[in-house]
Amino acid sequence: MNKKFVLDKGVFRILYEKYKQYLLPIGILCISVVLINQLLIPQFNDFLSTKEEEDEYRQSNEILRNNLNFLTNLDTTVLGEQVGIVSTALPVDKDFEGVLTSISSAAVATNVSLDDFTFNVGELSSGSATLTKERLPTIRINLTLRGTVPAIKEYINNVSKRFPLIEISKLESSSGITTATVSFYYRPFSTVTINEKAPIQPLSQSQIELINTLLEWQKESPIFTSSLSQEELEAQLPALINPSENIEVEVIEEASPSAPIVSITP
């Protein structure tokens, strides 16, 4: 017998009558699934992201709190002195006065006669476009000195511990006459951009030792000229600081072969 199946109103009625008890649980189940997908999972993800955000804020606040404590406890006077020392050791501009004072006072201290000298200063302006970031700019000076060889040795020793910092790139001493090529380092101001949420690290042991060494050199030098006064530095710093980015270092002018610049990226 080949009966034709017809899906009509009657069939639906029979099916409804037979399975109507299942309709409510199925509907509830469907609603539950929809709620899970549309409400619960997003709500859970939102909760997780809130937790992550909370952790980030906690860490960030911890860093900020430490930074605040560190800066609050930082002795302004000591910091000012340290800034004074380093800005004299490595001036922000071409410190001709400091350079002349250094080479001549070293000559006086070591009984060496300073004959003549020539400056190779490079550009007098400080346009940043022509400069590379890899090296520190220098002022190069050719010196002629008269003195005994031990005195010249003393002169090298003495002038190496004076400010601004120098590098002797060439020296020839013979028969009482010495010619030397000396490079004085300087480092122009650059835009210092500070990331507010980066932890401020206290000075490392090696940095403290370096400051102490510079302090000793400063004491040994009978004539000490500061290339930048505290007031000048303070006046210039706000304009050089931009919050919430990384510190960028721009170097200006003629390069020295052995002093790569260190970029600060806190």
Partner 1 sequence: MSDGINLLSRKTREQPVTRNYLLPFRIISFGLLMVVFLASLVLFVLKLQSPLESLKREEQSLLNNISVLDQKRGQYAFLNDRLKNISEILKTRPAFSEVLDTFSTIIPAGVNLSGISLDKKTAKVTFESNNLTEINNMLEATIALMQNDTTFAQRVALDELNYDNRRQVYSVAVLIDIE
Using CB under 8 A, which residues numbered 74 to 93 contact partner 1? 74, 76, 79-80, 82-83, 86-87, 89-90
Q: Which of residues 99-158 bind partner 1 (CB under 8 A)?
A: 136, 149-150, 152-153, 156-157
Q: Which of residues 6-35 bind partner 1 (CB under 8 A)?
A: 21-22, 24-26, 28-29, 31-32, 35
Q: From 1-9, 96-104, 124-132, 202-210, give the range in contact with partner 1 by CB under 8 A.
A: 202-210
At 44 the three-state DSSP class reads helix
Residue 100 or 181: the one with the smaller Cβ distance to partner 1 is 181
Largest separation between any pair of C-alpha atoms in the chain: 133
* DSSP summary character for residue 92: S
Query: Binding residue for partner 1 (CB under 8 A) from 11, 15, 54, 134?
Result: 54
Residues paired with residue 247 on neighbouring β-strands, in sequence order: none
Q: Work out how close the CB of 182 gets to partner 1 at its nearest, in angstroms, rounded to a whole number.
A: 11
Give the separation between CA 209 and CA 200, rounded to whole angstroms: 19
* DSSP summary character for residue 117: E
Instruction: Give the chain's length.
Output: 266
Give the separation between CA 138 and CA 123, rounded to whole angstroms: 11
Q: From 2-10, 107-115, 117-125, 237-245, give the range in contact with partner 1 by CB under 8 A.
A: 237-245
Query: Binding residue for partner 1 (CB under 8 A) from 96, 232, 240, 265?
Result: 240
At 139 the three-state DSSP class reads strand
Instruction: Look at the block and give the residue holding tokens 């932890």.
Output: 199
Give the type of residue at 225.
Answer: T
Instruction: Quote the tokens at residue 89.
Output: 């050791």
Q: Applying CB under 8 A, does 231 fall inside the site for partner 1?
A: no
Q: Which of residues 160-199 bind partner 1 (CB under 8 A)?
A: 160-161, 165, 167-174, 178, 185, 187, 192, 194, 196
- β-strands 177-185, 241-243: how paired? unpaired
Residue 11 or 39: the one with the smaller Cβ distance to partner 1 is 39
